[in-house]
């Protein structure tokens, strides 16, 4: 059976795998499902409806599955879904969705959420992400796989952070952050080109990194409008999968993308 500290309070509606560990003064409230190997450290509060896959760790004082901080929310049955193998450090907060935002907040697998990170209602977060201390998402934000949100950075509601994107510390992103690129700064944030070292560490071959560098040089060219740059990149490098993803991200942007030109 699950190991539950005698000071913990576990709602009878909760479903715990047999090897789950629940620490001191934990509160599990409502329909919370915890998969195999999950460890919930002291003073955490988990609220449902929430489904948490196997192998998640909650260090201490986390608030997971709380109602959304949205004035339109009236107690509707929305939910939170968390994939496998994440590590949530001290004081991380993750909120359930809203009906107007689709009703569900989702976090993928194998992410690291450092102390004080926040994922708001209706966010869709990918796999293998890193949120440094205090990294914050407003509502309805999308974060791609392998993205990094730097310390004390904030992403405006309805923005997107592309796959493999890197946001430097204290960044304020009010537009979409390009995949594979480094975005740093506050009002306005600026893009500084491919995250070359990070991509190399993630196993990107030299030719992949070089294709992204070439695409960036064109996109960064002050003599071209963004539309002209996208057309030129598509003509010269569109057969490269990473570049094709970058172009699709730019074309599908609703809020505009952050570039070096401001």
Which residue numbers are catalytic? 121-122, 139
**Burial class of 196 by CB neighbour count within 10 A (0 to 12, 13 to 18, 19+):** middle
**Burial class of 74 by CB neighbour count within 10 A (0 to 12, 13 to 18, 19+):** exposed
Q: Estimate the crossing angle of helix 241-251 against helix 226-237, to 10 degrees.
A: 160
SS3 content of the chain, % helix, strand, coil (to 5): 20, 30, 55
CA-CA-CA-CA torsion sign (185, 158, 33, 8):
positive
CB 25 within 8 A of CB 8: yes
- Tell which residue, 249, 100, 235, has the closest CA to residue 161: 249
Residue 14 phi/psi, 5-degree rounding, is -70, 150
Q: What are the C-alpha distances in Å from 107 to residues 46, 118, 208?
A: 15, 12, 28
Task: Sort residue 235 into left (φ over 0), alpha (ψ -120 to 50) or beta.
Answer: alpha
Contacts 24+ apart (CB under 8 A), 140-144: 140/101, 144/179
């Amino acid at each position: 059976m699950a190991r539950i500290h005698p000071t913990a309070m576990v709602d009878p509606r909760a479903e715990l795998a047999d090897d789950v560990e629940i620490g001191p003064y934990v509160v599990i409230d409502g329909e919370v499902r915890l998969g195999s190997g999950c460890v919930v450290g002291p003073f955490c509060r988990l609220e449902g409806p929430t489904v948490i896959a196997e192998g998640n760790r909650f260090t201490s004082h986390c608030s997971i599955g709380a109602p959304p901080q949205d004035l339109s929310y009236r107690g509707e049955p929305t939910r939170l879904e968390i994939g496998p193998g994440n590590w949530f450090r001290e004081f991380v907060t993750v909120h359930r969705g809203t009906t107007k935002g689709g009703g569900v907040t989702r976090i993928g697998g194998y992410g690291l959420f450092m102390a004080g990170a926040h994922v708001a209602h209706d966010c869709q977060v990918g796999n293998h992400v890193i949120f440094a201390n205090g990294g914050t998402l407003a509502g309805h934000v999308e974060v791609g796989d392998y993205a990094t949100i730097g310390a004390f950075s904030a992403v405006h509601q309805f923005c997107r952070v592309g796959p493999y994107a890197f946001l430097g510390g204290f960044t304020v992103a009010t537009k979409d952050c390009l995949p594979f690129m480094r975005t740093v700064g506050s009002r306005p944030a600026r893009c500084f080109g491919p995250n070359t070292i990070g991509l190399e560490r993630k196993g990107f071959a030299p030719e992949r990194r070089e294709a992204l560098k070439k695409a960036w040089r064109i996109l960064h060219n002050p003599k071209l409008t963004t539309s002209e740059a996208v057309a030129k990149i598509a003509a010269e490098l569109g057969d490269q999968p990473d570049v094709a993803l970058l172009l699709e991200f730019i074309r599908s942007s609703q809020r505009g993308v952050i570039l070096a030109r401001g």
